[in-house]
Chain A
Amino acid sequence: DIQLTQSPSFLSASVGDRVTITCRASQGISSYLAWYQQKPGKVPNLLIYAASTLQSGVPSRFSGSGSGTEFTLTISSLQPEDFATYYCQQLNSYPITFGQGTRLEIK
C-alpha cells in the first residue's frame, strides 16, 4: 500500500498568511494526487487533482505542485473560511489512500 505522510499535522496561522502543506508518498505516484478540504461537521470538498489542477469553483489562492513522491498545497493568502482540515489522497494504485490530515487553525 502507498502511505501518504502530511506535514505538519497541525498548523496555526493568521488571516493573510501564505501557508504550505506537504504530502510525501512512500513510492512514486506520478501526478495522481488530490487535495481535499474538510470543515467541521461537513463533508470533504475536492480542491485540486492531478497534483496541480484546480477543481472548478475553487478560489485561485489555492495551488498545488509536485510529482513523484513529494507534493505541496499552498494557500497564498489565508481567508477566514480556509481554516479547516486538509487531506491529500493518491489515486495512482489500489488501495486508494489518504494522508492523515493537516488541521489549519487561526492563530
Chain B
Amino acid sequence: EVQLVESGGGLVQPGGSLRLSCAASGFTFSSNWMSWVRQVPGKGLEWVANVNQHGSETYYADSVTGRFTIARDNAKNSLFLQMNSLRGEDTAVYYCARGCCCGGNCYAGLFDQWGQGTPVTVSS
C-alpha cells in the first residue's frame, strides 16, 4: 500500500522557518516525481514545488520562489520542503503528492497519491 506521511508543520511567526518532511513507502520512491501542494482550509488547491526522480531538477510557484526549497533523499524515501521567510499567506495544509506514472508515462505534474497533509500556520 502506498503511503505518504507528512510531518513538520506547526505554528511559526512571520519571517520564521519550517522544514516539512514526507516519508514515502509502498512504492519505488526513486521512480516518481514528487510535489508539494497546499490548500487553505475551505479554499482551492495551489501547487507549490516539485522535484524530479534524481533531485536534480526543481520547479517552484512564483509565490514561493526564493523562499522555499524542495529536496529529496531517495536512500531514505523522503521528500522535504524547507520554508524560509514565512508569511501569513503561506498558512495552509501542505500535502506531499506523488507524480503519477500513468499509461506508460511518468508525469511531473499529475498527482495520483497524496498524503494526509500537515498544517502550517504563520501568525504572531
Contact = CB atoms under 8 A, between A and B. Distances in A.
A44 interface: yes
Nearest to B93: A43
B62 interface: yes
Contact of B115 (A43, A89, A96, A100): A43
A11 interface: no
B45 A49 contact: no
B108 interface: yes
Interface in A12-48: 34, 36, 38, 43-44, 46
Interface stretch (B7-15, B18-26, B69-77, B99-107): B99-107
A87 B45 contact: yes
Contact of A96 (B47, B95, B100, B114): B47
Given A43-B95, A55-B102, A49 B110 contact: yes
Nearest to B105: A50
Interface in B26-67: 35, 44-47, 50, 59-62
A53 interface: yes
Interface of A: 1, 34, 36, 38, 43-44, 46, 49-50, 53, 55, 87, 89, 91, 94-101
